[in-house]
Structure 1
Amino acid sequence: MKRNYKAMLLVLLLAFASCSFTTKKFDNPDKDKLLIQIITFVLEQGHFDPILFDDAFSEDFFEDYIAITDPFKRYFYQSDIDDFEKFKLTIDDQLKATDITFFNVVNQRTLQRIAEAKEIYKTVLATPFDYTIKEYYNSDSENAEFPKNKKEMQDRWRKQLKFSAISNYDDLKQEEKQKKEKDASYTMKTDAEIEKEAREATLKSLNIIFEDYIDDQTREDWFAIYVNTIVEEFDPHTYYLAPKSKEDFDQRMSGKLEGIGARLQKRMDYIKVVELISGGPAWKGEELEVEDVILKVKQEDEETPVDIVGMRINDAINYIKGPKGTKVTLTVKKVDGTIKDITITRDIVEIVDTYAKASVVEKDGKKFGVINLPAFYVDFEDYKNINAAKDVKAEIEHLKAEGMEGLVLDLRNNGGGSLPTVVEMAGLFIKDGPIVQVRSTGEAKEVLKDRDKSISWDGPLVILVNEISASASEIMSAAMQDYKRAIIIGSKQTYGKGTVQNVMNLNSMLRNNNAGDLGALALTTQKYYRINGGSVQLEGVKSDVTVPGRFTYINVGEKDKDNPLPWDEIDPAIYTPWENYFDYDATVKKSKERMSNNPQIALIDENAKWVKDKIDVTVFSLNYDDYVKQNENNEAESKKFDAIDDYKTNLSFYSTTYEKSLIENDSTDLKEKRERWHKSLSKDVYIEEALNVLEDLNLAYPIKKVASAVKE
């Protein structure tokens, strides 16, 4: 992989060296033009599947750039769009000529409209809201028209602000009721006083966003958005990393940082939780969840929260993280549309908490093992000591020492990681052979193989996946499925990311660079394929036993992103399927039957459909009585799904002897982390079924004999 990337980089450098341009001292516009020249060159020459810079590109880019610049249609008027339309089919010509006229025109108008918007929202929030009126707010801005005049624009802002303020109003109303219940002599605030306080809180949040964040946007920040929109036309995983902001939409609050322990991404104007770091404060709290949208943030020394919708992700993260021991309250929108306040005490988040961990479980007199792998991590500077394959191998040995007769590898929510690591890990379960095929444009495919003939575990194997399992998780699952080495249990299909990216430092494209830091480009350079020749791109890995989950009906996969690369296939590699299961198909059939008749699974499926219905709702009442009634109805409806969390399997999980020795000498909270994990495993219906499958998978020879022989 690195060899191919280095070769491609060398070709690009040599080719670009022949391009003629000056390397004088650049001012911003000239630097912008240089960046466009380099970006377009790298995309055309280095991208796996480059698209043409033509009229079709111009049209798509035009729509996307306007949508990204003004996603809620609260800045531009229809007349602005009409003005911009003259560029709609000529943007490609501008890029070829390193002309940035379109950017300049839109950016100048954007700054003008933002200045006007500041006056509009201040005017709107100077007038009390009447929550007795029967009116509605439609959050579906994608299908809304741009305002035709200032009156329409002000009304759009009014409804958006009223929708934002009504939640503050409701919170304050509930607080007053609680104070009265605790102290009968307490004099409650009037509705007018509460309304004013709620409106002022909304004003404060908007002032912070506009004055502290939007106004701080530099030309370089705006141009980075423009450039990123260009590159994302090629595929969802090619993106521009600006030199200052480094807005790669993948900021980690982990390692040695003090924070809440969550990974966030910005999607349109919203900040969404895409991962919880195991062992971190958010993970411990068990309230914040993947796919939650963070709407507001309140520090413990502040009375009112700050609305972070529309805030830059770096600024939002800086506002959320903070010193160890301090508290932060997040107002989040759950996947079912309900709004909830979650208070988290910040702490040091250690990266070690994302490493592989193992548990023993006894069932019907047999011992089984569970290994949870949050990511295919690796430290390339210390590969021999820090990589997921090495750790999983070690955990297998610890489980074998306990007498393990079957293994569950849990890859749910595992977003991927290192390609060399997954190839090495897959080799732990087969003698040798191909694991994945990789193809670069214009080059012969490369088959990545396990060449180590030793097998760490050749007993029964089940792999758990869901819709969030992506990239390296899909390579692992696909390889084990193609070999018929494991039974895959989980979502109808995994995420569907079948591409490989490399990060290119754009400064390396120049000699004697006087333009300043140009940033970097994450570039899709390859696609990977299953050993059977198929791609996981868009289609993902289809589970052998399909079970519903909380994401079943939500659009979270690659196929739901903008501009994904297409599915295709190549010739299969030569491989020999695993032959030690004589009842593979019968086991899959029995599992499907169990799952179809499982009431817990049926309830999970019903909940997933309910969540999807709530997500699809885009019209909300701005009448307070109706607002409260709708919230109460949602709360009542959700009660029936409390049984999902109350489920128990009657299985007991415990640490390996090796880990128990670590816990005895541990000065941190390893014991607490493992106890919480074991408790969650005992309530996990998917783990329960995985263990049932392991029981059903009979081997043609005794497991203990094999395990002993491998160990020797």
Structure 2
Amino acid sequence: MFIFVSFLKIEMVQKIFSFMTSRKALPVYAMLIIGGIFCLSASCKGSNNNNNDTLTKQQQLLVGIGYIIEQQHYAPKPIDDAFSQKIFDSFLSQLDGEKDIFLQSDIKELSQYRNSIDDEIHGQTAMKFYPAAVDIFKKRIAVLKPLYTKILSQPFNFSKPDMYQPIGDSLDYPADAAADTVAWQQRLKYRTLVAYNDLIAQKAKAKAGDSLSKKSNAALEKEARNSVESYYNRYFESKFNATTFSRTAQFSMFVNTITHEMDPHSDYFAPVDQRAFNEDMSNSFYGIGAQLQEKDGQIKIESVIVGGAAWKSKKIAAGDIILKVGDGKSPQIDLSGYAITDAIKLIRGAKDSKVVLTMKKASDGSIEDVSMIREKVNLDQAAAKSVIINDGKNKIGYLNLPEFYANFQDPKGARCAADVAKELQKLKAENINGLIIDLRFNPGGSLSDVNKMIGYFVNAGPAVQVRNRNNQQQELMDNDDADYKGVLYTGPLVVMVNEFSASASEIFAAAMQDYNRAIIVGSTSTYGKGTVQTQLPLGKPNENGEPEYGGLKLTVEKFYRINGGSTQMKGVSSDIVMPDLLESFNNREKDNPSALPWDKIAAAKYTAWNPTYNKETIIKDAVTRINENPVFKSIAKTNAWMSKNENKPIDLSIDKYRANQDSIQKMFNKDDNGAVLKTPLSVNVLKVDYDKYYKNPDKTKQGWYQDFLKSVSKDVYIEESTKIVSDMIDSGKQQTAAAK
């Protein structure tokens, strides 16, 4: 959901530098260096030290970030007592969202800081709240293992009536240790019931000779308790160990509580997280060239990419386990219990940097250190790609764009606009009659790239409008692509979206809708992110090329459609709505209490497209088809049921639970099965892409491409989009014939 504008100008950095070094009232202060922002004369990069020196350095960083937010955020909220109270509640929720760790006495003890966090951010008092909260939190975690281990040592009685209330804002922290024990008993009973029910279902399907078929229900119940205990052991060991829950990680959580209270899309990144974010944006990274998976608390090699560093080493194969990771200088880090995302951050690194992996071979169990130099890995899965759908009378192009990626660090790096232009040229060479652009689940990305993309479909004109905190407005044009000038495609166009299409996706969909250039199909609306962020490096680049103290992604502008309306909160409404099971998740921008509001500015001057088809008739026919489609009717019914039954208490008697789960499972199975076409669409790869799909030397990639092809051919939403494009083509032919 990220869109970037230009970096802060040097003049602004100089002003902040001047202000901070002259602000004598602060007991701690931040220093700023031209060419990047940083806040310490000594390191706060990753120390696990819980001493006053470390906290003082972190507060220096906090004060600098706080000041930048106040001075540069698009709509900063006052950092006062009311703000402090929200941070107090939010940070505790970050630590203990299910309210199963802290006690009410802990909250009472911490309440002395409830109105002083704003003073900590301003440097007027020493930073005490977050370390005090973390210290209590860690003490509570220390007593949890013996608690849940003891509870899970005894069988649960699932025959008597009992109710469990899922997490909700109305829940309170347990009053004391006894109340906490009761809460954990209910929670563990529910989780065990879920696992127990799954095992019973597996036993029912097991063959007569399988060991599972011979197990008693008592044995299955014990196995369920063991699996729940193993889950909690792995969870606490991986999430709250000395590395993943270091003082740096704790501080990052605290600072992000502050930035997210300003708005959901302002973030602080510690150095390793800053690198990971840049990798996601650039659609590439530097690593070992292997796909990883987490299984039973271990990081395994799922596959090795041909030509990558792991492949070149000839010492790593699928099934091998990565036990430890390091750089050959510092002690190796044990990856036992690590979440896959955290392990990946450690295994990836800077260009041409050294990584040493301690591997356990799947072949013979031997353990060996393997040293490699990290190499660039491109993420084919996130790149633009296209195929052709044949509906019997038309060749319809299908172009999938998972995100608006852009490598800001490398001028020659991947840019989605250039890739989309190439796909359009390839599709045109195949003489397509219509086009579908799929932006479902596309979280956004590069603003400049989406502006270029808009220019591929409409004549020169405004693409989007932006406004900064000083109410200065600017129209961003769509014709600034030096490599691909002019309209690249003029035929019928459908844009697919859903509630997870955000930011740059919404800019594109809104422009196509306002220009009357395309028909937008999908969920009732897109996500609703109408804000613009800029990246601020905190400090000079370190030896790995990462900002020394991480980075700040700050909301500095809002963008508006060319018709004047913001996409913020409201998103882009589809011209044709196709029900989907994500509607009831309530996970859009409007569902976040810190989201900025919707507003409107004056419309830009633009000339709408004059389509050759009858848009009203096409929409009417599609709506009739969708309303009569049993798959979409069933999904709409499921959504209504989910909304009605959200957060209802759960009956913990096995008979009632199983009956309820069986009915739910049947409902979802019906929807899932219906969404997969029984008769697949006729989908063909482009001639120039044939080898990539069928003769790829990297069999892992070849398999992925063929899976993509299969997923397109069986998607009921793509099928309906194909029918809409086909109607547009036919309507255009009819209108052209009538005009003659």
When the two structures are aligned, how many residues end up with a matched partner?
636
- Matched letter for residue 419 of structure 1: L
Looking at structure 2, the residues matched to 50 and 248 of structure 1 have their Cα atoms a distance apart, in angstroms, of: 27
Q: How does 1:140-219 map to 2 (within 5 A)?
A: 140-171=167-198, 181-182=208-209, 188-211=214-237, 213-216=239-242, 217-219=245-247
Match of residue 671 from structure 2: 641
Residues 421 and 456 of structure 2 are in contact (CA less than 8 Å); yes or no, is this contact kept in structure 1? yes
The equivalent position to 2:688 in structure 1, one of 628, 644, 658, is: 658
Q: Deviations over 1:337-392 (max 9, x none)?
A: xxxxxxxxxxx995023212222233353322111111112233555673222222
3-state DSSP of counterpart to 2:494: strand
Does 2:517 match 1:485?
yes
Match of residue 12 from structure 1: 16
State the Cα distance separating 1:31 from its structure 2 match.
Answer: 1.0
State the Cα distance separating 1:205 from its structure 2 match.
Answer: 3.4
Match of residue 274 from structure 1: none
3-state DSSP of counterpart to 2:433: coil
Residues 236 and 564 of structure 1 are in contact (CA less than 8 Å); yes or no, is this contact kept in structure 2? yes
3-state DSSP of counterpart to 1:181: coil
Residues 258 and 349 of structure 1 are in contact (CA less than 8 Å); yes or no, is this contact kept in structure 2? no
Does 2:548 match 1:520?
no
Match of residue 659 from structure 2: 629
Q: Deviations over 1:562-604 (max 9, x none)?
A: 4011111222222111124363333333333333333332233
Does 2:465 match 1:437?
yes
Residues 655 and 674 of structure 1 are in contact (CA less than 8 Å); yes or no, is this contact kept in structure 2? no
The equivalent position to 1:450 in structure 2, one of 451, 461, 478, is: 478
Q: TM-score, normalised by structure 2?
A: 0.76
| Residues 1:99 and 1:545: Cα distance change in structure 2 (over 3 Å) | same
3-state DSSP of counterpart to 2:160: coil
Looking at structure 2, the residues matched to 313 and 83 of structure 1 have their Cα atoms a distance apart, in angstroms, of: 36
Looking at structure 2, the residues matched to 81 and 384 of structure 1 have their Cα atoms a distance apart, in angstroms, of: 52
- Matched letter for residue 65 of structure 1: F
| Residues 1:168 and 1:4: Cα distance change in structure 2 (over 3 Å) | closer
Does 2:607 match 1:576?
yes
* Larger displacement relative to structure 2 (585-594 or 475-484): 585-594
Q: How does 1:149-548 map to 2 (within 5 A)?
A: 149-171=176-198, 181-182=208-209, 188-211=214-237, 213-216=239-242, 217-243=245-271, 258-259=290-291, 314-315=341-342, 351-381=379-409, 383=411, 386-442=414-470, 444-451=472-479, 454-507=486-539, 517-548=548-579
Percent identical among aligned pairs is 34
Match of residue 71 from structure 1: 97
Q: Deviations over 1:32-90 (max 9, x none)?
A: 22122112111101211111012221222222122222212122222222333343333
3-state DSSP of counterpart to 2:552: strand
The equivalent position to 1:58 in structure 2, one of 80, 84, 87, is: 84
| Residues 1:472 and 1:56: Cα distance change in structure 2 (over 3 Å) | same
Match of residue 287 from structure 1: none
- Matched letter for residue 495 of structure 2: I
Looking at structure 2, the residues matched to 663 and 324 of structure 1 have their Cα atoms a distance apart, in angstroms, of: 33
Residues 266 and 554 of structure 2 are in contact (CA less than 8 Å); yes or no, is this contact kept in structure 1? yes
Residues 241 and 248 of structure 1 are in contact (CA less than 8 Å); yes or no, is this contact kept in structure 2? no
* Larger displacement relative to structure 2 (171-180 or 29-38): 171-180
> Gaps spanning 5+ residues in structure 1: where?
263-279, 282-298, 302-307, 328-347, 511-515, 706-712
* Larger displacement relative to structure 2 (650-659 or 473-482): 650-659
3-state DSSP of counterpart to 1:553: helix
Residues 545 and 592 of structure 1 are in contact (CA less than 8 Å); yes or no, is this contact kept in structure 2? yes
State the Cα distance separating 1:139 from its structure 2 match.
Answer: 1.7
Match of residue 157 from structure 2: 130
Q: How does 1:607-626 map to 2 (within 5 A)?
A: 607-612=638-643, 616-626=646-656
> Gaps spanning 5+ residues in structure 2: where?
30-39, 44-52, 295-301, 304-318, 322-334, 349-356, 364-375
Looking at structure 2, the residues matched to 570 and 417 of structure 1 have their Cα atoms a distance apart, in angstroms, of: 23
Q: Deviations over 1:614-654 (max 9, x none)?
A: 6x144233333433333333333444335414535664121
- Matched letter for residue 8 of structure 2: Y
* Larger displacement relative to structure 2 (75-84 or 251-260): 251-260
Looking at structure 2, the residues matched to 649 and 137 of structure 1 have their Cα atoms a distance apart, in angstroms, of: 43
Residues 356 and 371 of structure 1 are in contact (CA less than 8 Å); yes or no, is this contact kept in structure 2? yes
Residues 405 and 416 of structure 2 are in contact (CA less than 8 Å); yes or no, is this contact kept in structure 1? yes
Looking at structure 2, the residues matched to 312 and 35 of structure 1 have their Cα atoms a distance apart, in angstroms, of: 28
| Residues 1:458 and 1:14: Cα distance change in structure 2 (over 3 Å) | farther
3-state DSSP of counterpart to 1:484: coil
3-state DSSP of counterpart to 2:8: helix
Match of residue 625 from structure 2: 594
Looking at structure 2, the residues matched to 537 and 136 of structure 1 have their Cα atoms a distance apart, in angstroms, of: 40
- Matched letter for residue 489 of structure 1: V
Looking at structure 2, the residues matched to 211 and 662 of structure 1 have their Cα atoms a distance apart, in angstroms, of: 42
3-state DSSP of counterpart to 1:380: coil
| Residues 1:300 and 1:176: Cα distance change in structure 2 (over 3 Å) | farther
State the Cα distance separating 1:509 from its structure 2 match.
Answer: 12
Q: Deviations over 1:476-516 (max 9, x none)?
A: 11111111111111111101111122232223599xxxxx9
Residues 5 and 533 of structure 2 are in contact (CA less than 8 Å); yes or no, is this contact kept in structure 1? no
Residues 214 and 311 of structure 1 are in contact (CA less than 8 Å); yes or no, is this contact kept in structure 2? no
| Residues 1:204 and 1:443: Cα distance change in structure 2 (over 3 Å) | same
- Matched letter for residue 530 of structure 1: R
- Matched letter for residue 652 of structure 1: S
3-state DSSP of counterpart to 2:208: helix
Match of residue 299 from structure 2: none
* Larger displacement relative to structure 2 (77-86 or 487-496): 77-86
Looking at structure 1, the residues matched to 691 and 222 of structure 2 have their Cα atoms a distance apart, in angstroms, of: 59
Residues 648 and 682 of structure 1 are in contact (CA less than 8 Å); yes or no, is this contact kept in structure 2? no
Q: Deviations over 1:413-467 (max 9, x none)?
A: 1111111111111111112111011222115222111236621111111111111
Match of residue 344 from structure 1: none
* Larger displacement relative to structure 2 (488-497 or 603-612): 603-612
Looking at structure 2, the residues matched to 225 and 259 of structure 1 have their Cα atoms a distance apart, in angstroms, of: 28
Q: Deviations over 1:122-143 (max 9, x none)?
A: 3323433333333222222432
- Matched letter for residue 106 of structure 1: A
Q: TM-score, normalised by structure 1?
A: 0.79
- Matched letter for residue 69 of structure 1: L
State the Cα distance separating 1:215 from its structure 2 match.
Answer: 4.5
| Residues 1:197 and 1:358: Cα distance change in structure 2 (over 3 Å) | closer
